């Protein structure tokens, strides 16, 4: 019997912004994106928090590729419960993650999208597709809606 293994890693993307009201030096630390990675026997869960947009999404792209290509996960789950806003770059990384996972035979799911993040995914007709890569009907529907 194999023992179940679990791994937890955390990445922070930190930026500095000028804000004269925060402290005497006029700088404050702002966490833009946080990714917590949990892995077990077959699945990897990436819990994302913060702002999913701009150049900070490079970390998420790297985490997705590592999980699918490097770790050969059977399933990759991206949990967006902690994401406040989804930018164009963030949306692109999620769709790219979907494609990479499908190319490598892994299941891909985006869960817990809420508020403006959910609205953005629905507006771009990718919410159902990203909800479960095993649902080919959702993929075809997304493609048909985008072609209109």
**pLDDT, tens digit, 9 for 90 and up, residues 34-45:** 777 777 767 888
Please report whether residue 13 resides in a domain: yes
Residues 93-118: tens digit of each pLDDT = 999 999 999 999 999 999 999 999 99
Please report whether residue 128 resides in a domain: yes
Please report whether residue 50 resides in a domain: yes
Please report whether residue 89 resides in a domain: yes
Q: Which residues contact 124 (CB under 8 A, 6 or more apart)?
A: 91
Structure tokens at 90: 């963030």
**81 against 28, higher pLDDT:** 81
% helix / strand / coil in the chain, to the nearest 5?
Answer: 40, 35, 25
CATH number at residue 91: 3.30.750.24
Total count of residues recorded for the chain: 148
Domain that residue 106 falls in = 7-147
Number of separate domains in the chain: 1
Please report whether residue 2 resides in a domain: no
Please report whether residue 1 resides in a domain: no
pLDDT of residue 71: 86
Residues 110-148: tens digit of each pLDDT = 999 999 999 999 998 889 889 888 877 766 776 677 666
């Amino acid at each position: 019997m194999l023992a179940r293994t679990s791994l937890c890693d955390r990445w922070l993307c930190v930026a500095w912004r000028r804000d004269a009201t925060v402290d005497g030096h006029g700088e404050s630390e702002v966490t833009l994106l946080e990714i917590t990675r949990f892995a077990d026997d077959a699945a990897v869960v990436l819990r994302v928090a913060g702002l999913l947009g701009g150049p900070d999404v490079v970390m998420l792209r790297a985490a997705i590729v590592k999980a699918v290509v490097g770790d050969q996960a059977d399933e990759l789950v991206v949990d967006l419960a902690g994401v406040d806003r989804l930018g164009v770059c963030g949306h692109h990384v999620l769709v790219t993650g979907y494609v990479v996972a499908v190319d490598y035979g892994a299941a891909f799911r985006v869960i817990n999208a809420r508020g403006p993040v959910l609205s953005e995914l629905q507006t771009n007709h990718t919410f159902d597709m990203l909800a479960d890569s095993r649902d080919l009907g959702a993929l075809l529907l997304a493609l048909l809606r985008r072609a209109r």
